[in-house]
Chains A and B, each alone.
Chain A
Amino acid sequence: MIPIYLCDDQPTITENLKNQLRKVLLIEELDFQLQPAFHDPEVLLKTIQQAPQNGIYFLDIDFGAGAMDGLRLGQAIREIDPRGFIIYVTTHEELLPATFRYQVEAFDFIVKEDLSQLLDRLREILLAIRQRLAQDQRSERPQFCIETGGMKQFLPLDEIIYFETTPRKHVLAVVLPGRRIEFSGNLTELEAELPEYFLRTHRSFLVNRQHIHSYDRKAKVLRLTGEESCFVARSKVKALGF
């Protein structure tokens, strides 16, 4: 059962949220467990540290002077629960969606001023989380972690199509469907680290075997998932069975 945590320094807000959440859980028969509300970010962090698991978090952004702010709280939660769902409850004024999405992969935002729509928004969000969880069920799968500028990004290994070198020294790129991320690394070290189904087809490519579709004899390249292609050394073609 996935826990739902609330954290806001104003009890009226948490109380209101709790009531509405309870309604949604009942109506939609969702398998989430509402936890008692927190008013201090530190206490919340201590609690989840004791029993780390995937959770859903509704967080305030401004906890008053001297306290940890919502962004730092979100980052701290990410350290403990990298795949939890963080939703910020905030005012229009404080709302910086791109920042929060980029820094803590915030799942969604609820604007405090639009309280009349609160029930609908909560329903929307919780249903979206359920859907995401259902997708992830089959994906209790190994992840590849890259660190780009102090931020960890988790990429499912089986989704990675290939790694390649770039014209710049010590900069590699990882390619997934619809995504290309550069990071610092070394292809040879990576090859040793990764499971065997990652093949070094060429001095500049480390390819996921599951994503190899065919060998293009004319262009002398491997055709991969998502219209991607990569070079292959002549000596490796036979080993691939083409």
Chain B
Amino acid sequence: MLKIFIELLFMLLTVLTAMLTLTVILHGIEERPVYWQKELRKACIYSLIVTGIGVVLAGVSGTNSESFLELLLIVAGGLYLAKFQRTKTTAEIVLPLTLYTTGSVFFGSLMVDNIQLLFDIHIVELLLVHVSQSSPQFVIALVNFLLFIYLASFRKLPYAGVLLRFDEKLVNVIGGAYLLAVAFFSQSVWPLWQVWGQNNADACVWLTILLMVLVLNRGEALLKIEERQQHQQTEQLLQQQAQYVQHLEELQQELRGIQHDHKNLITAMYLDVKQGNLANIETYMDQHLRQVDVSLEQTIKKQNQLTQIRVPEVKSLLLTKLIRAEELELKVSLEIPQTIHQLPIPLTDFLRLLGILLDNAIEASQESVGKELQLLFWQKEQELHVVVENHFSEAVDQRQIWHPGYSSKGEDRGLGLANLRKIIGNYPHVLTETKIQGDWFTQILRFR
């Protein structure tokens, strides 16, 4: 009874292992880090050396060279793991370890003339052998169930997700312990395997180890990719904030200049007042006081409006686009009468929508005569309206605008609006309005 149970357990493990390994190989190859090849080479060299020593020692002591080799490998693996536990990540420990052990077995099997081991890992063969021995219905049901799990896992790849949530150290410990436990298990239940054949059992062990590695490796790779993305985002945000600060500093400089001018002006006016020279004062006031540098006033106004947005990512995006528009010498006005604390749809989609709208508006007004661009964020209770108005020069076919690939400038450039439409398609509570009036093109998004 126990024998059958253990056999089934191993078979289950083998099937699952093979399937998941296949999944990981199919899905995870492009995310495999570069050090993979380097470690492979290292592992091959190590395993050659260790196997050589093992075979020599076995020959000298006269014991069964294969089991002796295995024992040696486990000890070496444990040492290897202990050595790197503190400094390296899971993948960096487990990957070379397994490559090293697999490599050892490979070279070891070459040397002990047991190459058969490598060809015995065929699952089909394994299944056929087993089905002939035990209840076939049960095995088929089991395989079906596993297939179901396998197919379900295809969509979500849950193992990577689960592993990602673990603390890294915990993964290290669990991974290491698991590896050693499997190896030990393979030793201690040795006699029970005799029915099935030692080679098949070995294949199970190695496949399990391989699976562990690939899964861990993939989780690690995903973690790294995520980290890199986050890093990039933070960097971008910082850069944008630096730009913002620089903007504010320039503004301050300008204000200081104006304050200086005003001081002079007031001194002059004071003298005029003393002399009763009213005409002079009137000219002064007309020329200087009333008409404070209009562009400066515009800039201050824009910055004031920008502070109304309390979602940093949106503020950054707006700032970037505003700076770009200014570099292109467009006249931009920005109006945000109410403070905006939260967005009506998820951030990423909102940013995409806003990015598309602004890019289109900037591009169109850049080619226009008026070169003007107006932006309005209007919030009222739960609603947010984004109004983008821009000058344009070409005749735009309004109906065509919404079709994929359309742009009056040629291929590909109209994809923005098609994407806009696609994103909006997910939100039934977003309404759009498009308007052409003279040389103004208006695009409104209403989030209800």
Question: Which residues of A come within 8 Å of B, CB atoms?
Answer: 71, 92-93, 96-99, 102-103, 113, 116, 148-150, 167-171, 175, 178-184, 227-228
Q: How far is the CB of B362 from chain A (nearest CB, A)?
A: 16
Known: A98-B375, A98-B387, A178-B435. A148 touches B335 (CB 8 A): no
Interface of B is mostly: strand
Complex contacts, A149 vs chain B, CB 8 Å:
380, 383, 385, 431, 446, 448
Interface string of B363-386 (1 = CB under 8 A from A): 000000000001110101001010
Interface string of B164-176 (1 = CB under 8 A from A): 0000000000000
Interface string of B419-448 (1 = CB under 8 A from A): 000001100100111111100000000101
Interface string of B106-131 (1 = CB under 8 A from A): 00000000000000000000000000
Q: How far is the CA of A51 from the CA of B387 in the complex (A)?
A: 34
- Asked if A96 and B337 sit within 8 Å, CB to CB, the answer is yes
Complex contacts, A92 vs chain B, CB 8 Å:
294, 297
Q: How large is the interface on B (under 10, 10 to 19, 20 to 34, 35 or more residues)?
A: 20 to 34
Contact among B291, B434, B446, B448 for A179, CB-based, below 8 A: B434
6 A-B interface contacts by CB (under 8 A): A113-B291, A149-B380, A149-B383, A150-B380, A178-B437, A179-B435
- Asked if A227 and B397 sit within 8 Å, CB to CB, the answer is yes
Complex contacts, A184 vs chain B, CB 8 Å:
431
Complex contacts, B376 vs chain A, CB 8 Å:
98-99, 102
Interface of A is mostly: mixed
Residue of A nearest to B387 (CB): A102
Residue of A nearest to B427 (CB): A168
Residue of A nearest to B334 (CB): A98
Q: How far is the CA of A150 from the CA of B294 in the complex (A)?
A: 35
- Asked if B436 and A178 sit within 8 Å, CB to CB, the answer is yes
Q: How far is the CB of B408 from chain A (nearest CB, A)?
A: 14
Q: How far is the CA of A119 from the CA of B297 in the complex (A)?
A: 25
- Asked if B428 and A171 sit within 8 Å, CB to CB, the answer is yes
Complex contacts, B337 vs chain A, CB 8 Å:
71, 96, 99
Listed from nearest, the 9 A-B pairs whose CB atoms lie closest are: A178-B436, A98-B376, A182-B431, A181-B433, A149-B446, A96-B335, A168-B428, A180-B434, A98-B374
